[in-house]
């Protein structure tokens, strides 16, 4: 009953006219940004942060949650229409969505994507409502050692699940922490790595890094690949209607993938990409017509879409209950929350129930907006894809600039943005994953604080991380998570007959 | 002498950076009151971690990077100023110039100039549409930030 009352309280906040407007604006803007190839939820959220500065935290987070959902849905749109997934989480959607579009069934594929996202999102919000309070009750007992171990696990999980080199992922994470500790040490007041620059005393703002590494680097990367742009031809969208038998056909895959997606999202590092691939492969395996997957099977669109939206909601669980993001996207959300003066964690449910339950309720509303308003608008929104690429690239640059300058009013930060843009380009060209860097940047300070507090309490004894069963368990899982990709690599090298 | 591969070059760069970082970490002043952990511990751990990782990177076999070969081949044989790398360099210089001119010229003027200039440079030839869209978006952003969100943006040469 408690959960129901709390949810009603959340609806009271989310249904305030101004917050409804924010959900709609967020979903709409997210859809547009997510649709642009290359710009995923991280860029979308980073671009929106300056807008949330002046807002009430609950309104700000409601807007951001809408942007997140919208960006994932927008990514599906470009996956289906152009075979160019805006985000990694919608790659699996393109396997069957694009063949459907080529057959003139783009409207149907988009409708399936929207309905499945709606169900995936809604089912997972119910799970979030039930799981989050339980988890935060457990997390209240966490001390600094447990938090430090949890953050190490969050980082290693993100590193180990990036498809690039493990070493490069770890280097990106270490560099992220190195950037995070620039400035005055809050515990001792000592300056660290400021090179005498007054501008660096407050540290390097995560927005500068996030916009540089993701949005600006993406612009540079697109310039390298041909700024003039050779646009892919687009087919007509066609009807958005589904028949009763089609609805019946996708009901099972959507239900199963929603649950699977949610629990994948809760795991640190897993998120929408893995959730959608798991959903897709599970359905392909159990479907009677599994061999038609990849040729425009509607279940091949429904499963990954339900799973990726459910995973997005699932990824809010560690963020809101533990204060530890499990992905690059939720790391940016955490950064935005900290800027708004909200500290997510186990106490958030009691200290800021308005934010927590407001966000949960806004997720329901966001899902409805995605379905009722965004879907009919898709043919119109899809025209954004017709925007000439040169103009699009310049406009993204302007958004980055205003995002950074509007927050810090510092020309120095604009130059830093340029620097991080070039670093981001280098990372892309040399195969360094960006998500561990951004996650480490957000977690770096909190990690150091937890480490120092734990050692302070134990009188400098490092065994404190091993003596406590929870922190020991988390550290062991962190180590194992790093071991897994190495094991996978070794198995690949061994010839199949030996491996058996 | 055998040639170094990309990973080995990168590893050397990171190793040099790590050594420099560790040296700087050693210069962090000690806090007057004795504490089990001081400001220098974490940076030292990070510096050594980076150094160890760069050693691992040195011995890691480079793998082909998805999309790295997608550089615009056509443009590479075009005029020097329009080659892919020239585009990145010119854009970087334009951003640096924008940062320096933002306050004296003002947000609207500097942003419109950057947007129109780069769009034309990237090859868009419908200058009227370019100017109208750029000015429209910049003005919309400027008015939203200054009038709705009360964020100050430099006015520069323009009176508003």
Angle CA A279–A126–A250, to nearest 5 = 35
Same domain? B130 vs B82: yes
Among partner residues A167, A219, A395, which is closest to B56 by beta-carbon distance?
Answer: A167
Question: Does A391 sit within 8 Å of B133, measured CB to CB?
Answer: yes
* Residue B19 to chain A, least CA–CA distance (Å): 13
Q: Are residues B55 and B89 in the same domain?
A: no
Instruction: Please tell me the predicted confidence (pLDDT) of residue B135.
Output: 94
Residue B14's pLDDT band, with cuts at 50, 70 and 90, is: very high
Q: How far apart are the CA of A206 and the nearest CA of chain B, in angstroms?
A: 19
Are A430 and B98 in contact (CB < 8 Å)? no
Same domain, B107 and B77: yes
Instruction: Answer yes or no: do B86 and B136 share one domain.
Output: yes
Say if the Cβ atoms of A190 and B39 lie within 8 Å.
yes
- Domain contains B68: no
Residue B48 within a domain: yes
Helix and strand counts by DSSP (H, E) for chain A: 24, 2
Q: Do B87 and B126 sit in the same domain of this protein?
A: yes
Q: Give pLDDT, residue A235.
A: 58
Q: Is the dihedral of CA A381, A383, A385, A388 positive or negative?
A: negative
Q: Tokens at residue A146, please?
A: 């447990």
- Is the CB of residue A445 less than 8 Å from the CB of residue A204? no
Give the single-character DSSP code of A371.
I
A154 and A268 in contact (C-beta within 8 Å)? yes
Domain end call among B59, B84, B101: B59
Cα pseudo-dihedral B139, B141, B144, B146, rounded to 10? -80
Confidence (pLDDT) at B131 = 94
Residue B38 lies in a domain: yes
d(CA A277, CA A296): 16
Instruction: Give chain B positions within 8 Å (CB) of A418.
Output: 92, 95-96, 99
Q: So what's the pLDDT on residue A241?
A: 81
Look at A431 and B10 and tell me if their CB atoms are within 8 Å: no
Which residues on adjacent β-strands are paired with residue A183? A192
- Same domain (yes/no): B134, B86: yes
- B159 in a domain, yes or no? no
Q: How far apart (Å, rounded) are the C-alpha atoms in residues A273 and A63?
A: 23
Biggest distance spanned by C-alpha atoms of chain A: 69
Tell which of B59, B88, B104 closes a domain: B59
Query: How many A-B residue pairs are in contact by the CB < 8 A criterion?
Result: 184
Asked if the structure places residue B105 within a domain, the reply is: yes
Q: Cβ separation of A455 and B36 shorter than 8 Å?
A: yes
Distance of residue A19 Cα from the nearest chain B Cα, in angstroms: 16
CA torsion angle A317 A321 A322 A328 (round to 10): 40
Run means of pLDDT, 10 residues per run, chain A, 500 residues? 75 86 86 74 79 79 83 81 69 85 84 89 86 77 85 81 80 94 87 89 86 86 69 62 88 92 78 79 84 88 90 85 79 80 79 79 80 74 75 86 83 94 93 86 86 88 89 89 72 46
Q: How far apart are CA A203 and CA A50, in angstroms?
A: 18
Structural domains of chain B, count? 2
- Residue B158 in any domain: the answer is no
- Interval B54-82 mean pLDDT: 74
Q: Are A172 and A432 in contact (CB under 8 A)?
A: yes
B81 & B140 share domain? yes
Residues of chain B with pLDDT > 90, as a percent, come to 54
Distance CA A91, CA A97 (A): 10
Comparing CA positions, the residue from A327, A321, A214, A333 lying closest to residue A271 is A327
Q: Are residues B98 and B123 in the same domain?
A: yes
Which residue from B91, B99, B107 is facing A220, i.e. has the nearest CB? B91
Q: Which residues of B touch A459 (CB under 8 A)?
A: 36
DSSP symbol at A385: G
Q: How far apart are CA A115 and CA A110, in angstroms?
A: 9
Q: A188: nearest CA in chain B?
A: B31
Write out chain B residues lying below 8 Å of A427, CB-based.
none
E strand or H helix at A191: strand A191-192
ipTM for this model: 0.91
User: Do B99 and A411 contact (CB within 8 A), yes or no?
Assistant: yes
Q: Are residues B84 and B25 in the same domain?
A: no
Please give the full DSSP string across A18-34, using - where no structure is assigned. Answer: HHHHHHHHHHHHHHHHH
Q: Tokens 């499945």 identify what position?
A: A116
**pLDDT band at residue B107, thresholds of 50, 70 and 90?**
very high
State the residue range of the domain holding B133: 73-148
Local structure of A184: helix, strand or coil: strand
Are B109 and B137 in the same domain?
yes
Residue B23 covered by a domain: yes
Q: Does B77 lie in the same domain as B52?
A: no
B83 and B143 together in one domain: yes
In Å, how far is A222's CA from the nearest CA of chain B?
Answer: 9
Among the partner residues A220, A391, A405, nearest to B88 by beta-carbon distance: A220
Chain A nearest C-alpha distance from B37 (Å): 6
Query: Out of A391, A406, A418, whose CB is closest to B145?
Result: A406
Residues of B in contact with A397 (CB under 8 A): 91, 95, 114-115, 118
Tell if the pTM clears 0.90, that is, is over it: no
Residue B157 is assigned to a structural domain of this protein: no
């Amino acid at each position: 009953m408690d959960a129901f009352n709390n949810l009603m309280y959340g609806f009271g906040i989310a249904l305030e006219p101004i917050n409804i407007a924010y959900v709609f604006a967020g979903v709409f803007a997210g859809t547009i940004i997510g649709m642009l190839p290359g710009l995923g939820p991280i860029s979308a959220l980073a671009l929106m942060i300056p807008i949330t500065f002046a807002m009430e935290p609950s309104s700000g987070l409601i807007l951001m949650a809408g942007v997140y959902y919208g960006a994932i849905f927008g990514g599906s749109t470009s996956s289906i229409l152009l075979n160019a997934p805006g985000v990694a989480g919608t790659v699996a959607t393109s396997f069957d969505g694009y063949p459907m579009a080529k057959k003139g069934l783009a409207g149907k594929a988009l409708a399936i994507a929207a309905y499945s996202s709606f169900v995936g999102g809604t089912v997972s919000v119910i799970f979030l409502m039930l799981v989050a309070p339980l988890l935060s009750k457990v997390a209240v007992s966490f001390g600094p050692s447990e938090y430090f171990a949890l953050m190490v696990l969050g980082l290693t999980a993100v590193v180990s699940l990036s498809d690039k080199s493990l070493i490069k992922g770890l280097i990106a994470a270490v560099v992220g922490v190195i950037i995070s500790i620039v400035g005055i040490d809050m515990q001792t007041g000592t300056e660290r790595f400021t090179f005498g620059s007054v501008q660096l005393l407050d540290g390097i703002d995560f927005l500068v890094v996030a916009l540089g590494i993701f949005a600006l680097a993406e612009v540079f990367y697109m310039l390298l690949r041909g700024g003039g742009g050779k646009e892919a031809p687009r087919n007509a969208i066609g009807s958005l209607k589904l028949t009763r038998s089609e609805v019946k056909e996708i009901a099972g895959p959507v239900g199963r993938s929603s649950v699977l997606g949610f629990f994948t999202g809760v795991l640190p590092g897993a998120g929408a990409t893995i959730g959608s691939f798991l959903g897709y492969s599970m359905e392909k395996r159990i479907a009677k017509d599994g061999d038609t997957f990849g040729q425009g099977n509607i279940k091949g669109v429904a499963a990954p879409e339900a799973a990726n939206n459910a995973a997005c909601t699932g990824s809010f669980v560690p963020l809101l209950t533990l204060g530890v993001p499990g992905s690059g996207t939720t790391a940016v959300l955490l950064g935005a929350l900290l800027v708004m003066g909200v500290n997510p964690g186990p106490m958030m449910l009691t200290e800021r129930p308005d934010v927590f339950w407001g966000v949960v309720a806004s997720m329901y509303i966001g899902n409805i907006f995605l379905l009722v308003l965004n879907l009919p608008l898709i043919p119109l929104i899809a025209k954004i894809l017709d925007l000439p690429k040169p103009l699009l690239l310049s406009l993204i640059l302007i958004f980055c600039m205003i995002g950074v300058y509007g927050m810090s009013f510092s020309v120095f930060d604009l130059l830093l943005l340029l620097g991080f843009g070039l670093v981001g380009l280098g990372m892309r060209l040399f195969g360094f994953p960006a998500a561990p860097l951004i996650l480490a940047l957000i977690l770096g300070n909190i990690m150091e604080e937890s480490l120092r507090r734990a050692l302070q309490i134990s009188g400098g004894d490092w065994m404190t991380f091993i003596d406590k069963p929870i922190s020991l368990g988390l550290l062991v899982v962190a180590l194992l998570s790093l071991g897994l990709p190495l094991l996978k690599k070794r198995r690949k090298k061994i010839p199949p007959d030996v491996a058996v | 002498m055998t040639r170094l591969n990309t990973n080995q070059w990168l590893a050397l760069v990171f190793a040099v950076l790590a050594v420099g970082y560790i040296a700087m970490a050693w210069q962090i002043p000690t806090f007057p009151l004795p504490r089990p952990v001081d400001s220098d511990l974490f940076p030292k751990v990070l510096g050594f971690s980076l150094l160890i990782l760069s050693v691992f990177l040195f011995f890691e076999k480079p793998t082909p990077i998805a999309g790295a070969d997608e550089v615009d081949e056509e443009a590479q044989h075009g005029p020097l100023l329009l080659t892919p790398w020239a585009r990145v360099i010119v854009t970087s210089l334009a951003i640096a110039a924008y940062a320096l001119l933002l306050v004296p010229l003002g947000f609207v003027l500097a942003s419109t100039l950057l947007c129109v200039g780069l769009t034309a440079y990237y090859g868009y030839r419908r200058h009227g549409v370019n100017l109208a869209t750029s000015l429209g978006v910049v003005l919309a952003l400027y008015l939203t930030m200054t009038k709705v969100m009360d964020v100050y943006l430099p006015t520069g040469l323009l009176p508003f």
